[in-house]
Structure 1
Amino acid sequence: MKIIQFITHMNERGGAQNHVLELSKAMHQEGHEVIVMSSGNSEIVTQLEKEGIQYVPISSLITPINIIKDISSLYKIRKKIRVLAPDLVAIHSSKAGILGRIAAYSLNIPTVFTAHSWSFSPFNNFFKRKLFLFLEKYIAKITNGIITVSYNDYLIGLKHNIINKKATRVIHNGIEDVRFCRNDDVRDTLHLIMVSRFAHPKDHHLLLTALKNIEIDNWELTLVGDGPNLNVIKDYAKQLDLDKKIIFTGEKNNVIPYLEKSDVLLLISKSEGLPISIIEGMRAKLPIIASDVGGIKELIENKKQGLLVNNNVEEISNALKMLLNDNKLLKKYGDSSYEKYLEHFTFDKMYKKTINFYTHVLNKK
């Protein structure tokens, strides 16, 4: 199979970017011809090139709506796809999802769109919600297959008449299993970790407020990631007098060493698809405290692999206090996390389902 994996940008390492990287590597190793098309030039692009995977940059492609640049990008995307002549274009993220499907459809090349989350999020303003909902409905009519990474997003797609049941699959994210060198000795100070960009919809501000509220001192927090709100959160940590208990690492290509030293993984967020950071925590045998939004409940059952919380200070504070004071509960939730990861969220399971769906779409076309 000759396939283009197309995503809006590779400016930083996020869940969708990691997904494209690992999927492309596996397909390449299996003998498929894979080309990745995107904007940006982060270390992910370097990894792709080291693997021998062709990277095609579209420099005019940006995330915000810009009519002039979007039309220019559409022309360039169509030209690149026509020259490359793939069997299939697999598309990820909203802007690429719209422009890529229009370009491929005009060339009679089949497409599969993976919705890592829907673009018409309730947290966008009214104009953007209506515009993206209209576009998703229209573009879905020229799409050969759609993958949602959670049942939650599948149901949202059905509700808004975007998806066709026969042409849609729910395929949960999956990641490779790796060995962890963990020290399971009981520790006086428990190490909390959150791995995410400092940008909407992640809510580091709420997490820090909840930590200030618990009035328990036996914790240390590591925040892995970069983003536009990083300095704002650093200033807020100082304002709360928590800065000496928080480690800001910046963006890291490999989070495994940080997960090995951690006791609880956190994800406080206003909106999610199916976050890979939680799957990474489950793989590391960590109990999870996470906001009950999007597809997170498909990963974490409350009081089995961790605690699901509503986004308010009281619930997050109570969850933190419960785990910070109960080592047996930490181990119980951590073991259950790993068991569920092995059963449902390994890379092999995700990869086989994805390749089978690509093949199904091609055969149907």
Structure 2
Amino acid sequence: MKIVHVLTRLLRGGSEENTLACCLAQAGHGHEVLLVHGREYDPGLRASVAGALRVVTLEDLINPISPSRDISAFRQLTRLMRDWRPDIVHTHQSKAGIIGRLAAEQANIPGIVHGVHILPFVHVSNTQRLIFLAAERLAARCTRAFIDVSQAMRDICVANHLGGPDQHHVVHSGFDLARFANAQWPEETHLLLGTAAGEPKPPVVLMLAALEPRKRHVELIEAFGQVVDRIPNVRLLLAGEGPARSAVASAIERSAFAKNVRMIGYHGEPEKLISLADVCVLTSMREGLPRVVMQYLAGGRPCVVSHLPGVEEVVTHGVNGIVTPVDNVSAAAASVADLLENERYRARLADGARLTDLSSWGLDAMCDRVETIYRSVQASALSAARPNVTRGILGGTAKRASRLHRPISTGRF
């Protein structure tokens, strides 16, 4: 099978890691895989997969709306797909999802699949919602299958007329479960925490998330004062990289409790950071069903998370975590402080986290399920093509017959 994956950005986020895991598994199974990503990318991440599959960068594929660049990216993608003739085009993220699917249709690619990692029309202004919905509905017309990261994502799509129920398939964003369940603390923890060597570990709160505005790092820093007031030696670790780095750094600098907040950037062993944490948090205002929450649970850590679509599929309030209103970061900070002060409650939630059934989040389960969907899409496309071919043959025969039996005009001279 020839497979093209299209991403808007190739950064160190959940949707990118999910996509790369699929790409590597598909290449390992003998498929020809091409990864196309836009202008924003992490060079190290790109280099890590370049040896296993072909990778192409499109400079005009960017996240903000830009009519001239969007048209250019559409044309480049169309040419690339016409030249490469893939069996499957699998798009990810909002901008690449729209442009990539329209380009695949223009190139007459029969198997068009879209991964629903996040919904761009959720928790935005009414104007943005109308624009995003119109674009998504246009692209949905040429989409044979949707792969949703959660049941809630699927339900929202269907309710908004983005494909029919039979086109949607829920596939959880897989990862190596054992890696998180068996992790140990990172080396030289005192450097991460800003404490003296040999000093007892202070209470640690971890947020593992790309530095993007929708994750609301700045708002969490601003609300974290109430945690420091109750637990003065607490440390907030912010692990991740992204376009909002300067805004997050500025928020720390102007904070009265800057010494309690540590921005540590990208960390190659997130499982060790989770093992170090007493409480894990995610304050996103817009997500799919974030894989990092499952990583928190796999690491046996209680979590405080925003009430995102689908989060109730894995986080049960008061059993393995705390779910707070999506529009109230202050409530998340208060819940963090409550857990840090109540060791018995925290231990109970940690036990609940360890007992959470995450079997459907395994890496192999995800990759196998995606390939099964691809096969189904191929079969469906082939089945749909047969009547068209038949009609074309019969139509051509009928036309030829009508020409043969058409009366000869005598005309007038």
| Alpha-carbon offset, residue 152 of structure 1 | 1.7
Cα separation, 2, equivalents of 1:74 and 1:317:
43
Deviation above 4 Å: which 4+ runs of structure 1? none
User: Aligned partner of 1:204: which letter?
Assistant: H
| Alpha-carbon offset, residue 232 of structure 1 | 3.0
Contact in 2 for aligned 1:234/1:243 (Cα 8 Å) = no
Q: Label 1:101 to 1:282 Cα distance change in 2 as closer, same or farther (>3 A).
A: same
Question: Equivalent of 1:351, from 351, 367, 379?
Answer: 367
Contact in 1 for aligned 2:220/2:330 (Cα 8 Å) = no
In the other structure, the counterpart of 2:337 is 321
Contact in 2 for aligned 1:116/1:273 (Cα 8 Å) = yes
Q: Does structure 1 residue 304 correspond to structure 2 residue 319?
A: yes
Contact in 2 for aligned 1:39/1:60 (Cα 8 Å) = yes
User: Aligned partner of 1:240: which letter?
Assistant: S
Question: Equivalent of 1:247, from 235, 239, 262?
Answer: 262
In the other structure, the counterpart of 1:161 is 161
In the other structure, the counterpart of 2:197 is none
Contact in 2 for aligned 1:21/1:44 (Cα 8 Å) = no
Question: Equivalent of 1:333, from 349, 353, 360?
Answer: 349
Q: Label 1:313 to 1:256 Cα distance change in 2 as closer, same or farther (>3 A).
A: closer
TM-score w.r.t. the length of structure 1 is 0.92
Cα separation, 2, equivalents of 1:167 and 1:229:
35
Contact in 2 for aligned 1:219/1:245 (Cα 8 Å) = yes
In the TM superposition, 1:4-43 aligns within 5 A as: 4-10=4-10, 12-40=11-39, 41-42=41-42, 43=44
Cα separation, 2, equivalents of 1:56 and 1:341:
38
Return 66-75 or 311-320, whichever deviates more: 311-320
| Structure 2 unpaired stretches of 5+ | 187-199, 382-413
Contact in 2 for aligned 1:272/1:295 (Cα 8 Å) = no
| Alpha-carbon offset, residue 239 of structure 1 | 3.4
| Alpha-carbon offset, residue 188 of structure 1 | 6.5
Identity among equivalent pairs (%): 25
In the other structure, the counterpart of 1:202 is 215
Point out the structure with the larger helix share: 2
Contact in 1 for aligned 2:233/2:260 (Cα 8 Å) = no
In the TM superposition, 1:1-365 aligns within 5 A as: 1-10=1-10, 12-40=11-39, 41-42=41-42, 43-50=44-51, 52-109=52-109, 110-123=111-124, 125-177=125-177, 178=179, 179-181=182-184, 189-214=202-227, 215-216=229-230, 217-310=232-325, 311-312=327-328, 315-340=331-356, 342-365=358-381
| Alpha-carbon offset, residue 341 of structure 1 | 5.1
Cα separation, 1, equivalents of 2:139 and 2:49:
29
Cα separation, 2, equivalents of 1:73 and 1:166:
31
Contact in 2 for aligned 1:174/1:279 (Cα 8 Å) = no
Cα separation, 2, equivalents of 1:101 and 1:313:
36
Q: Label 1:57 to 1:229 Cα distance change in 2 as closer, same or farther (>3 A).
A: closer
Cα separation, 2, equivalents of 1:53 and 1:341:
33
User: Aligned partner of 1:325: which letter?
Assistant: E
Return 100-109 or 72-81, whichever deviates more: 100-109
Contact in 2 for aligned 1:2/1:88 (Cα 8 Å) = yes
User: Aligned partner of 1:45: which letter?
Assistant: R
**SS at 1:237 equivalent:** helix
Cα separation, 1, equivalents of 2:77 and 2:354:
41
| Alpha-carbon offset, residue 247 of structure 1 | 1.0
Q: Label 1:318 to 1:70 Cα distance change in 2 as closer, same or farther (>3 A).
A: closer
Aligned length, in residue pairs: 359
Contact in 2 for aligned 1:188/1:218 (Cα 8 Å) = no
Contact in 2 for aligned 1:221/1:246 (Cα 8 Å) = yes
Query: Could you report, residue by residue, the CA deviation over 1:80-136 in whole angstroms, capped at 9, with x for unpaired residues?
Result: 11111111111101111111111211232111101111222332x444321221111
Cα separation, 1, equivalents of 2:149 and 2:35:
20
Cα separation, 1, equivalents of 2:55 and 2:290:
25
Query: Could you report, residue by residue, the CA deviation over 1:167-201 in whole angstroms, capped at 9, with x for unpaired residues?
Result: 11122212112131259xxx762211001123221
Contact in 1 for aligned 2:171/2:369 (Cα 8 Å) = yes
Return 301-310 or 256-265, whichever deviates more: 256-265
Cα separation, 2, equivalents of 1:85 and 1:339:
46
Query: Could you report, residue by residue, the CA deviation over 1:271-299 in whole angstroms, capped at 9, with x for unpaired residues?
Result: 21111221221222111111112222223
Query: Could you report, residue by residue, the CA deviation over 1:324-364 in whole angstroms, capped at 9, with x for unpaired residues?
Result: 02333333322322332533322222222222111111111
Cα separation, 2, equivalents of 1:319 and 1:246:
18
